[in-house]
Amino acid sequence: VRHIKKNAAARDLWNQIFCRLKEREDATLWDPNYDRSRDRTRLRKAFREAGWSEAEAEERIRFHDDFDAQAPEPASGINPGAQVLYQKLWTDIEAAMDRLGLQSHHTVMHGIEPLGGPFATKTNVIMTNESIITVGAHLFRFCGLIARAFFRTLWLNPYFWSSDNYDKLEGELQLVEDSDLSLYWIYSYLSYALTGTNAYAPFKPAKRHEISFEQIARAMEIFAISHEYGHHDKNHGRGIDLQDSHAEEFEADQFALRICQEVERYPVLFANPYLPSGAGGAILLMAMETLRRVQQAIGTIDRPIVNTHPDVLTRIARFDSVAALQPAEFLRLKNFRTTAVRIMSAAETIMFNLVSPEDFAKLREFAVWVPTSNNLWR
C-alpha cells in the first residue's frame, strides 16, 4: 500500500535550503555538461587493473550508467549515483518501518546537500512534526572507501581479527606490512579531511573476490540514515526542555540497530551480517571519529572533542543490547562488532604512526574544506 506523505512544509523548506546551499562558494556540484568519456577511460583502466576481463569491465561500466540514469532529479547538480543510492536506501528503511508498524516516516522529506564531508542530518520543520533528513553528497563515497579498506584489512588474516588471542600490536604490524593498504587508509582519510571529498583518494575498484565490500558500505549507510530517522521518530530537538543529548544519541543508535535488523530480514541476494550485528554502524562511527581526529591534527577543527556526542566506544558498547537473540547468534554477531572495532582502531593507529604531527600541520595549506559545524555527525 502506497501511503501519502504529509511532508508539504518540509518539501517547501528543503527547496529553499537547497537553493541557498547551491549558491555557496564551497558547494560541491556536478556539472551536467562534464565530459564523462574521461571517467569511462579511467574506469576501464582501473577495472582491467583489478583483474576484470574487457567484457566484464564494459558490463560494469554499463551497470554504472544504467544506475545513474535512474536519478530522480538529473538536472539538480547532485551526483546522479548518489541520488539513486539515497532513494534506494531510504526506500528500504521506510519499508522496514512499515513492517514494524512505525508511521513517523510519513512526515519525512529527503534531500542531498551539495556540501563536502560525510554526514547525515535531520532538520526539524518548525511548527510541524515534519523533518528533512539529508545526507551530504559525499557520504556514500566515503562509506565505499572505508568499506574497501576495511574489507582488504580483514582479508589480510580473516580469523585473526576475531580470535580470542588477538593482539593489538600484532594487528597493527600486519596492517603496516602491507604498505599499499596502509597508504589506501591514509589517503582516504586525508582526502576527506582536506577536501570533504574523495578527490585525493586512489581509485581502486574491487577485485573479483572483494565484491562483498558493498555489503559493508550498505550497512554503514543504512545505519547512518536510520540513526536520523531515529531522531525524527523520537521527536528529538523539538521539546522546550533542555535535552540530554547523550541519551538522545543512544536512543537514535538503538533505533538504527532495530531498523538494520529489520532491513536484513529481507536480504538483497546474500545475507549481510554487518547489518543485524551493528558492525556497519560501528565501522561508520569509528571512521567519523578518526576523520575528526585527523582534522584536529591538521588544524582545520580547533575545538576539542564536542560534548554533545558520547564517546564512540561507549556508543558501540551499547550495541550489545541487540537483545532478543539466541546466545549463539548473539556471539556470532558480536564477533563482527569486535572485528570492526579492532580493524578500525588499527587503521587509526597506523595513520597517526606514519604521519607525524609536523606533516599533518604542513597539510593545512592544502585544506579546502572546513566543516561548517565542528560536529561531523550532526
List contacts with Zn ion (CB under 5 A).
249, 252
Minimal distance in Å, beta carbon 121 to Zn ion?
8
- Nearer of residues 187 and 250 to Zn ion, judged by Cβ: 250
- Our CB check for Zn ion shows the closer of 78 and 252 to be 252
Q: Which residue number has the CB closest to Zn ion?
A: 252
In the chain, which residue ranges form alpha helices assigned H by DSSP? Answer: 8-23, 37-49, 54-68, 80-99, 139-154, 168-177, 179-195, 213-233, 245-264, 279-298, 312-317, 327-354, 357-363
- Give the residue with the Cβ less far from Zn ion, 312 or 343: 312
Query: From the CB of 17, what's the least distance to Zn ion, in Å?
Result: 19
Task: Report d(CA 173, CA 353) in Å as an integer.
Answer: 11
> Closest separation between CB of residue 278 and Zn ion, Å?
15
Whose grid coordinates read 535550503? 17
Rank residues 119 and 274 by Cβ distance to Zn ion and give the closer one. 119
Q: Are 25 and 368 in contact (CB under 8 A)?
A: no
* 166 phi-psi bin (left φ>0, alpha ψ -120 to 50, beta other): beta
Work out how close the CB of 81 gets to Zn ion at its nearest, in angstroms, rounded to a whole number.
25
- For residue 156, give the C-alpha cell: 589480510
**DSSP symbols for 97-140:** HHHTT--GGGGEEEEEE--SS--EEEEE-TTSS-EEEEEETTHH
Nearer to Zn ion by Cβ, of 186 and 225: the residue is: 225
CB 70, min distance to Zn ion, A: 29
Question: From the CB of 227, what's the least distance to Zn ion, in Å?
Answer: 6
Residue placing its CB nearer to Zn ion in the complex, 57 or 282: 282
